[in-house]
Structure 1
Amino acid sequence: MTIARQLATIDRLCSEAFPPEPGRSDVGTGGPGYHLAELATSEDFWEDDGTRRLEAEEQYEADRDGLAERLAHRWGPPRRFSLMSVCERAEAGEEIPEPWGSLSAHVPDLHLWRADEHGRWIALGVSQWDKELPFQLLAVVTVMDPP
């Protein structure tokens, strides 16, 4: 997906209603109060010595940063929001609202904006569930305040 299509996807999700139930969408997942778009997905790393993984991680972080620059022209500089403490709280049994609870399991930090007149948060992050699994560039649109 090109950066123009990524921006168009984010714009569309900012204007769409949220799904009444959690589930898959044409660009990722969603549920009450949130959309989560999978903007790009790498290959997996089952047969990798670590080199391709490191290159992919650097590329996905650069892609996130480039997209964040474009969004900063609209909404100002992003806040960096670490999900590490959110993950620790979830692992300790605290109920974390979605999309933050599931994001904290595989996205270490986010670029975050409070971006529109409807009180929606927009976030960009790089996900990887495990070292052998693909990286994903994710965009989140939600009305749920970060925990």
Structure 2
Amino acid sequence: MTTAEHLDTIDRLRGQTFPTDPVRFDRHGSGPGHHLVQLVETRDFWEDDGSARIEEADQISAEYGALVQALTGRWGAPQVFTLDGVMQRGLDGEAIPEPWDALADNADHVHLWRAGDQWLVVYVARRATEDPFRLMAAVTVIDPP
């Protein structure tokens, strides 16, 4: 997908109503006050010697950077929000609201912008070294914890 297509996806999410109950689909999920969508996914790296991982990391970084730049042009400089503390608070038993709990489980930081009454969030998700890189976006009315 191109940056323009990513922006179109985010714009469509901004206009959708939020469901009252969580809904999960193959590449996205929604719930009260938020939508999450996977924009790009690389292949997994279970049988990789490291070279494909580097190449795919460079590609996803370039797409992430282009999307951050495009959103910055629209909404101004982003906040870079580190999620380590949010994850730790969740591990300590604090109830972290969605989508922030899911984000903290999958990324160490996000870029976010305030767009009216919504937060726009983009990040690269990855759980383990062998897992694919996933360029993700979220739209939420729930403030970062």
Query: TM-score, normalising length from structure 2?
Result: 0.94
2:124 to 123, 126, 134: 126
Could you tell which deviates more after superposition, 124-133 or 53-62? 53-62
Could you tell which deviates more after superposition, 52-61 or 33-42? 52-61
Distance in 2 of aligned mates of 1:85 and 1:66: 27
Match runs of 1:32-51 below 5 Å: 32-51=32-51
Residue deviations 1:59-85 (CA, integer Å, cap 9, x gap): 222211111111111100111111111
Partner amino acid for 1:102?
A: A
Match runs of 1:29-108 below 5 Å: 29-108=29-108
Distance in 2 of aligned mates of 1:8 and 1:54: 28
Secondary structure of the structure 2 residue equivalent to 1:52 = helix
How many Å apart are 1:89 and its aligned residue? 1.0
Partner amino acid for 1:31?
A: G
Q: Which runs of 5+ in 1 are unaligned?
A: none
How many Å apart are 1:27 and its aligned residue? 4.8
Query: TM-score, normalising length from structure 1?
Result: 0.93
Corresponding position of 1:23:
23
Match runs of 1:107-118 below 5 Å: 107-116=107-116
Distance in 1 of aligned mates of 2:118 and 2:137: 13
How many Å apart are 1:25 and its aligned residue? 4.2
Q: Which runs of 5+ in 2 are unaligned?
A: none
Residues paired across the two proteins, number:
145
